[in-house]
Amino acid sequence: MTYTFTEKLFKQGNRYFIKIPFNVWEKCGQKGVVAVRVYIEENCTFECKLVPKGEGTYYIPIRKNVIHQINSVDALSVAFEVISGLTRINYDSPYSKENPIRKIDSIQSITYPKTGYCGQLCIAMLTGLSVDEVVAVMQTKAWGCSFTKLLETLDYFGILHDDKPTYTKGKEVILPECCILNIKDEQKNHFVLYYKGIYYDSKNIDYKEMISYMRIFV
């Protein structure tokens, strides 16, 4: 749901804010830390965490780079929507759920000469990009692909997926048509792409070593 209002920018100390003119607890059904995607006028979109001021009152923090994009004097047309968490990839994506990077109807197997890039390798095969291109978007190094970062990158490319993993606990299960597996490894957990009965990995996969899987919608 999108909440809209008109409000002026104000400065408090060295920071700029926009006050939300209604009780967020009551209208949005949210308390505590609230992550939102904000739209100001027609040319400015960003994500942030609202600043709580007590009893349901919240401010939208405005970064300095945003100040230069908006009129800081007149009342502004503001809208926001509550999101599950901030997208930590630090630039706007040209893709969306409605306009993904590609339709996943096949997978081309690729390899990468360096170790520690299993998550990036899964994303590369799903998107059709090179591993280096995915690393640049994900902004991670070897062994740096956490499950959270994996989700953020899938969202960046507009690839639809389950909101949370399905835990198998070493039991043999029927996997969905396409998914990313989380496998126990000697040092760290290992991500493996599965598509139509094929494990796209150099290792033999034993379901007893499987921790969970996350379905990719194709």
Q: What is the pLDDT of residue 212?
A: 92
Residues near 40 by Cβ (< 8 Å), separated by ≥ 6? 18, 66, 69, 70, 76, 77, 78
Q: Determine the Cα–Cα distance for residues 22 and 46; give it in Å rounded to an integer.
A: 21
**Domain range spanning residue 73?**
2-82
51: left (phi over 0), alpha (psi -120 to 50) or beta: beta
**Both 40 and 127 in a single domain?**
no
pLDDT band at 187 (very low <50, low <70, confident <90, very high): low
**Both 62 and 124 in a single domain?**
no
Q: What is the pLDDT of residue 87?
A: 66
**Both 209 and 124 in a single domain?**
yes
**Both 55 and 123 in a single domain?**
no
- In-domain check, residue 77: yes
Tell me the H-state helices in 75-130: 118-127
Mean pLDDT of the chain: 89
Q: Does residue 210 register a pLDDT over 70? A: yes
Q: What is the pLDDT of residue 152?
A: 85
- Taking the alpha carbons at both ends of the chain, their separation in whole angstroms is 26
Our count of domains for the chain comes to 2
- In-domain check, residue 174: yes
In the listed set 33, 57, 82, which residue is the last one of a domain according to the structure?
82
pLDDT digits (tens, 9 = 90+) for 105-164: 999 999 999 989 999 999 999 999 999 999 888 878 888 888 878 888 998 899 999 988
pLDDT band at 47 (very low <50, low <70, confident <90, very high): confident
Q: What is the pTM of this model?
A: 0.62
pLDDT digits (tens, 9 = 90+) for 49-96: 899 999 999 999 998 777 877 766 789 999 999 988 776 664 567 888
32: left (phi over 0), alpha (psi -120 to 50) or beta: left
- In-domain check, residue 112: no
- In-domain check, residue 51: yes
Q: Which residue bears the tokens 């899964």?
A: 122
CATH of the domain at 63: 2.40.30.100
Q: Which residue bears the tokens 């809209």?
A: 4
> How many CA atoms does the CB half-sphere of 40 hold within 13 Å?
26
